[in-house]
Amino acid sequence: MAVVFEKPKSLADVPLHYCPGCPHGIIHRLVAEAIDELGIEGKAIGVAPVGCAVMAYDYFTCDMIEAAHGRAPAIATGIKRCRPENIVFTYQGDGDLASIGMAETVHAAARNENITVIFVNNAIYGMTGGQMAPTSLPGQVTQTSPYGRDVNHCGWPIRVCEMLSTLEGPEFITRVAVNNVKNVNAAKKAIKKAFQNQMEGKGFNLVEVVSACPTNWGMTPQQALQWVESDMLPYYPLGVYKDRTAAKEGK
C-alpha cells in the first residue's frame, strides 16, 4: 500500500487553533501542498494577516512575517523587491484584504507585483466575533448588522475579483471555493497556478477562496458549506476573472 494522502511537509505539525469545521485548515493545507509540490519550501516567505489566520506564521514551515491589519500586500512588496528570487505570498481574510487593506490590495495588483495573494472570503469578521465584513451578503445578520445587512445604510458587498480584473496590472485573478471535494480540488489547482505564475515571474496572482465561518454564521459545519453553495456562490460566482497569459495565448 502506498500513501495517497498525508499532511504536506510545509504545514507544521502543530494543532490548528481554528474552530471545528473551519475551512481555514483546508486552505492552509492547499497552500502547503502547492509549496511542497513546486519544491519551494526553502524559498517561500509568507505574510500572515490580522484576523483568524493571524497565527498562520506558526502553521507554515517557511519563513513568515506577521503584518498589520490589511498591510500584507505592502509588506510582501517590500520583501519581494528585496528578494525577487524568493516566493512571497500573503494569506488574508475579507476584512483584512477588502476593507482596511483595500488600497494595498488594489495597488499591489495595479503594479503587477510578482506575489501570490490567498484571499479567504467568508463574509464575516471571524476573529473579533462575527461583525459585518465588506463581503457580508445583503441581508446577512452579523453582530454589527443585527437586522441584516441593509445595503441602503452600509452599502453593497464588494466583489474583489471582478473589481481587480478591471485593472491592466494583474496576471491572474480567480475565485474558487472549498465547500465540497470537487471545489477543493479546483481550488488546489488555482493556488498552485498562482504560485507557479510567480515562479515564472508573471506578476500578481490573487486566488479568492469562498469559505465559511460556521461559528459566527451560527451554523453547523455542514450547514455552513451548504450556505456557501446556496447563498455565497450566487453572489460570488466561481471562475477565472483574469488570466493574462491565457488571454495572450488565445485560450
Partner 1 sequence: MAKVTFRTDLCKGCGLCVNACPKGLLAIAADQINAKGYSPAVMTDMEKCIGCAFCATMCPDCIITVEK
Partner 2 sequence: MAERVLMKGNEAIAEAAIRAGCRHYFGYPITPQTEIAAYMAKKMPKIGGVFLQAESEIASINMVYGAAAAGMRVMTSSSSPGISLKAEGLSYIAGSDVPALVVNVQRGGPGLGGIQPSQSDYFQATKGGGHGDYRMIVLAPASVQEMANLTIKGFNLADKYLMTSMILADGTIGQMMEPISFEDAQIETYEKPWALTGTDCKRKHNVVNSLYLQPDQLEKKNFERFERYRQVEENEAMWEEYMMEDAEICVVAFGIASRVAKNAIVAARKEGIKVGLIRPITLWPFPKKPLAAAAEKVNSFISVELSMGQMIEDVRLATQCKKPVSLCNRCGGMIPSPDEVLETIRNAQKGV
Residue 201 within binding range of partner 1, rule CB under 8 A = no
Considering only 68-76, 122-130, 174-182, 228-236, which stretch makes contact with partner 2 by CB under 8 A?
A: 68-76
Query: How many residues form the binding site for partner 2 (CB under 8 A)?
Result: 36
Residue 41 within binding range of partner 2, rule CB under 8 A = yes
Residue 37 within binding range of partner 2, rule CB under 8 A = no
Which string of b and e fits 70-88 if b means at least 16 CB within 10 Å? bbbbbbbbebbeeeeebbb
> Please, which of residues 216-235 interact with partner 1 by CB under 8 A?
220-222, 225
**Phi, psi (rounded to 5 degrees) for 193:** -65, -40
Nearest approach, Cβ of residue 131 and partner 1 (Å): 22
Q: Which long-range contacts (CB under 8 A, 24 or more apart) does 194-198 make?
A: 194/34, 194/116, 194/117, 194/118, 195/34, 195/35, 195/38, 195/40, 195/87, 195/89, 195/116, 196/38, 197/116, 197/171, 197/172, 197/245, 198/87, 198/88, 198/89, 198/114, 198/115, 198/116
From candidates 22, 27, 35, 44, binder to partner 2 by CB under 8 A: 44
125 binds, among partner 2, partner 1, none (CB under 5 to 8 A by kind): none
Q: Which residue has the cell 466561481?
A: 238
Which positions ≥6 away from 97 have C-beta within 8 Å? 49, 70, 72, 73, 105, 117, 119, 160
Query: Which CA distances in Å does 59 have to 9, 106, 114, 215?
Result: 11, 27, 23, 21
Smaller CB distance to partner 1: residue 22 or 164? Answer: 22
CA distance 166 to 47: 25
29 binds, among partner 1, partner 2, none (CB under 5 to 8 A by kind): partner 1
> Please, which of residues 78-97 interact with partner 2 by CB under 8 A?
78-83, 86-87
143 binds, among partner 2, partner 1, none (CB under 5 to 8 A by kind): none
> Please, which of residues 3-42 interact with partner 1 by CB under 8 A?
3-7, 11, 15-16, 18-26, 28-29
Smaller CB distance to partner 1: residue 33 or 208? Answer: 33
x/- contact string, 173-192, with partner 1 (CB under 8 A)?
-------xx--xx-------
Nearest approach, Cβ of residue 40 and partner 1 (Å): 19
| Residue at 170: amino acid letter | P
Residues in contact with partner 2 by CB under 8 A are 41-45, 47, 54-55, 57-58, 60-68, 71, 74-83, 86-87, 103-104, 106-107
